[in-house]
Amino acid sequence: MTATPRTALITGASAGIGATFARHLAARGYQLLLVARRGDRLQELAAQLTERHDVRCEVFAADLTDPAAPAAILNHADQQDLDIDVLINNAGLSGKTAFADSEWDALAGEIQLMVTAQIELVHRVVPGMKKRQWGRIVNLSSLAAFAPPAASLLYTGIKSFTLNTSQALDMELKPHGIHVTALCPGFTRTEFHDVMGTRDQADHLPRILWQQPESVVAEGWSAVMKGKPVCVPGAVNKISAAAMKPLPIHLGYFLGKTLNPFKDS
C-alpha cells in the first residue's frame, strides 16, 4: 500500500460478492466507494466497515441500468477527491423470461447494466490508473461464459463478452501497470437466486457445486494482484470450464497477444 490509501470502487456492493469484496478490501486498508441501488444497505455496510477497519467508506446509490449512472458515479468520486485505483465491476442480473417473451426495456436494461455500464466505468477510470501506473480491475463474468451457446437468455452471451473483453483489456493495459481479470464463478451462495426467483431449482443442485462468496473473492483478488487475466475459482469449476472450452485459456490468451494488431501502439 502507498502512504495515501488506495481507493476501490465496487458496484453491486450491497450484498453477495460485491459486499464480500468490500469486506475483503477494507480489511486490507483500501478506501471504498460503494455503489448499488439500495442506499440503506450501503450505508449499513459502510458503517460496519468504517468501525471495524477504520477506513474511509463512501456510498453512492445508483441504478446502473440508467445510462447516466457511470458518469454520475465518477463525478461523485471526483467531488470526494477519490482517485479510483481498483474497480470491481460486480453489478449484474439475469433475465427471467425467454428473449422473445421479454419486453425490450428489460433486455435493454440488462445490456446497459452488464455490458455498456461496465465498459464505460473501465474507460472512465483507466486514464487515472495509467497516470499513476497502477490499477486493478475485476470484471464479474461467470462459469457460464465457457458453456456452449444456449437458447433463450442473454446471460451466457453477456458473460462471454465480459470474459473476452477483459482479456483484451488486460493485454492492452498491463504495460501501464494495470491488471484486468475476468472472475468467473460458478454457483455461489448469494442472494442472486432469490432475486431471480430460481432458489428452488438451485437448492436441488449437489452441494459440491456450490462455493461461498468469501472463497470466490479471495481467489479473484489473488488472481488480479498476480496479473492473471482469467480466474475460475474452485476445483470443480476449473474442471467444468476445461471440459466446456476446447481451447485452453492460456493458449488462447497467448495467441491473442501474439496476433494483437495494436501491440506496438
**Residue for cell digits 506496438?**
264
How far does Cα 2 stand from its chain's mean position?
A: 24
Show which residues are catalytic: 155, 159
Cβ atoms 218, 50 nearer than 8 A: no
Cβ atoms 113, 163 nearer than 8 A: no
Sheet holding 84-89, edge to edge: 57-61, 31-36, 7-11, 84-89, 135-140, 178-183, 230-231
How far does Cα 145 stand from its chain's mean position?
A: 14
Neighbours of 236 (CB within 10 A): 17
Amino acid identity, residue 22?
Answer: A
Q: Which residues contact 31 (CB under 8 A, 6 or more apart)?
A: 5, 6, 7, 8, 55, 56, 57, 58, 82
Q: How many residues does the chain have?
A: 265
For 56, the grid coordinates are 474511509
Alpha carbon of 27 to those of 13, 35, 51, 52, 233: distances in Å?
15, 18, 11, 8, 21
β strands within 43-132, DSSP E = 57-61, 84-89
